Chains A and B, each alone.
Chain A
Amino acid sequence: MKIYIKNGHLIDPSQGLDSIGDIIIENGKIKEINTKRKERSTKSKGLSKSFVKTIDAKGCFIMPGFIDMHVHLREPGFEYKETIKTGTGAAVRGGFTTVCCMPNTYPVHDNASVTEFIIRRAAEEGSCTVLPIGAITKGQKGEELAEMGTMVKEGCIAFSDDGSPVMNSLIMRRALEYSKTFDVPIISHCEDVTLSDNGVVNEGLMSVALGLKGIPAESEQIMIFRDIALAALTGARLHIAHVSTEGSVQLIRDAKKRGVHVTAETCPHYFSLTEDAVKGYDTNAKVNPPLRTDRDRQAIKEGLRDGTIDVIATDHAPHHADEKLREFDMAPSGISGLETALGLSLRLVHEGVLTLRGLVEKMSLHPARILGLEEKGVLKAGSVADIVVVDKNREWKVDAQHFVSKGVNTPFHGWILKGMAVVTICKGKIYEQ
């Protein structure tokens, strides 16, 4: 099938592409990219009749499809919260053409048969590419290493115990060393759970005012310090998940200056909200790491701006509505974020914190590079057609009840956002808003 996208503003930071142009897609791959006026008009005349689908992207941007390195698809085991089908459906609505799913499923994804299951289900029902992340330790218990080698062979592209940290430093060291065999990143959920002590919000004025147990910023920062030290010691590839505090950003900035091989991601809620969002005990704002202070929020934005934070990932964590409709300290943590990520991230562009190129780097190019996906995050002839067409200025209202995701747990319900993915193309299919 041939698809012709014309008159859009192409952006691909990997090759400095930033101009109006057309793309021709054939059989799921990018056949041609034309930016010169003369070529474009010649092609359009000759080919318009043989296309199955023409998309006029006038006024919009054409970008390499977004890659979300941190998503909880909940299948196998928690299908009542989300399935691979509904999760990837939400992803393409948000402009994502690839998602990496975390291993805290049931059973835990700590062996190759679960890898195989996920890949098969994704092939059957997934709207976009699904790349599984395997567990670092068996059962995510933090005691014994999981079989990374066989999981990589079956299709895992990274390892993480996300949801939990690897508390035992020796095990974390071994995990980092062992991962070098397969040249895969270890994605760390940095939290000292003994210091967190079952806290449910940021430790600060809100926790005292609301009578809720707080998690100090130091909980995250202590672990980041440790993991950076272990990364330096082992020379492995460390990626820090969901960075949320000013102190964390500073630690990563310093580490990069010293040449440690560390990369980092943050999530849209950390640069869009503060701990004030839990006022009234709104469980939709309950997330781990918790929403922090405004100072932390500004530091996260600065970290994105100066490159300390490489990636914007969603940490998409859908939960059933009943689970969130309960006592604050009993409700599970998490925000259903795939469908609001782009709109929230574009606010950074509208504010001048990021350029559009920068946005594409954070959401597409850098994730591809960190995961070693050479074909993705770029608009090149010959590469797989994972493309998103973005209307930067289109205003829309967030309506959780109409999410494609089963998870309606979002603190952004009712927000007016500016910018959305109007067309997402992946796996040879077109998804239009």
Chain B
Amino acid sequence: MLKTKDLLGIKELSREEINLILDTAAGFKDVLGRDIKKVPTLRGRTAVNLFFEPSTRTRTSFELAAKRLSTDVINFSVPTSSVVKGESLIDTALTVQALGADLIIIRHSSSGVPHLLSKNLRASIINAGDGTNEHPTQALLDAFTVKEKKGKIEGLTIAIVGDIAHSRVAKSNIYCLTKLGAKVRLIGPPTLIPQEIKMMRVAVFHSMEDGLKEVDVLIMLRIQTERQGKGFFPSIEEYSKNWGITSERLAHARPDVVVMHPGPMNRGIEITSEIADGPHSVILEQVTNGIAVRMAVMYLLAGVKRS
């Protein structure tokens, strides 16, 4: 059983709850392998994708997950503009709830928005990414993928490479994998790794060659080209030369290393096509697993009784 009606972040989940979600997702992955990829489980419920940041992949993944559970889905794409004074966030969310939403999947550029909605709405809130805080379903599908490929998570050495400071995917992964007993390390330039992150029981490396030694799983993060020009690194080319994953660098890791990426990839920048399409990559499976994990989350949240 999940303890609360919402999924706001991995921070708020216990190890038991994470394992429950992963076990449940395994059952749903079976459904995705059939001809009829649908079960009547949440028939009659309504899920709303409330996305204040553009995103086709995550939104579609949630949409498919809901539909596979026979849930009705509505997509609200709200153009973000802090200048345009329109309806307040709370008003928009309450309107969506009044339209009959049982489940609201929210993505927003401000950290803490899902928490704000959770306190003020009866509907279940799923965080699909809030500012630089968390992206919990991404971390859950990453953990599911690791478990599937390696049989376990505890004791594995897992490296996350890239813009840790601005990445909600990185934060959620750090919380999730450390809770499940993995040894997590971060690799990137010092300007992109905040000093306080060491308090989260992770090791920090600035060199790929050093950081990749003994690594079982490698998670590459997308480098946002907008970060160039703000002093975090001199150029994309330099970033790529130092922290991009190439076959040469990958040889420093364990021979059976698994390479993951939350997508979308910048081929040629943080990851070469050779690796993205190569035998170590499980990037496409992450996408499939994403649907199973999101189905599991919706199923489990639907079972939490509201007062």
Contacts and interface: CB of A to CB of B under 8 A. Distances in A.
Whether the complex brings A and B within 8 Å at their CB atoms is answered: yes
Interface of A: 204-205, 207-212, 280-281, 322, 325-330
A208 B196 CA distance: 7
17 contacts: A204-B196, A208-B194, A208-B196, A210-B112, A210-B133, A211-B112, A211-B132, A211-B134, A211-B168, A212-B111, A212-B133, A281-B112, A327-B108, A327-B110, A327-B116, A328-B110, A329-B110
A130 B96 CA distance: 46
Contact of A210 (B111, B120, B194): B111
B222 to A, nearest CB: 17
Given A210-B112, A328-B110, A329-B111, 14 more contacts: A204-B196, A208-B196, A210-B111, A211-B133, A211-B134, A322-B88, A325-B88, A325-B116, A326-B89, A326-B90, A327-B112, A327-B116, A328-B112, A329-B131
Interface string B188-213: 00000010110100000000000000
A207 B194 CA distance: 10
B139 to A, nearest CB: 14
A211 B131 CA distance: 7
Interface string B32-71: 0000000000000000000000000000000000000000
A329 B120 CA distance: 18
A280 B116 CA distance: 8
Contacts of A327: 89, 108, 110, 112-113, 116
B110 A325 contact: no
A268 to B, nearest CB: 25
B81 interface: no
B5 interface: no
A281 B111 contact: yes
B306 to A, nearest CB: 20
B88 A212 contact: no
Contacts, number: 54
Interface string B110-148: 111101100010000000001111100000000000000
Contacts of B185: none
B196 A205 contact: yes
Contacts of B89: 326-327
A106 B171 CA distance: 42
Given A204-B196, A209-B11, A210-B111, A326 B116 contact: yes
B133 A330 contact: no
Nearest to B115: A281
Interface string B173-195: 00000000000000000000010
B82 interface: yes
A322 B112 CA distance: 17
A209 B200 CA distance: 9
Contacts of A208: 194, 196-197
Nearest to B119: A280
Interface string B84-116: 000011100000000000000000101111011
Nearest to A280: B115
Contacts of B131: 211-212, 329
A204 B197 CA distance: 10
Contacts of B116: 281, 325-328
A343 B203 CA distance: 45
Contact of A211 (B82, B111, B199): B111
Nearest to B52: A327
Nearest to A278: B112
A207 B197 CA distance: 10
Given A210-B133, A211-B171, A328 B82 contact: no
Most A CB contacts (10 A, CB to CB) among B110, B112, B130, B132 go to B112
Contacts of B82: 330
Contacts of B88: 322, 325-326
Contacts of B115: 280-281
Contacts of A330: 82, 110
A329 B130 CA distance: 12
A325 B111 contact: no
Given A327-B110, A328-B112, A330-B110, A211 B90 contact: no
A170 to B, nearest CB: 27
Contacts of A325: 88, 90, 116, 120
A204 B130 CA distance: 19
B247 to A, nearest CB: 33
B138 to A, nearest CB: 14
A281 B112 CA distance: 6
B116 to A, nearest CB: 6
A208 B204 CA distance: 15
B89 to A, nearest CB: 6
B239 to A, nearest CB: 22
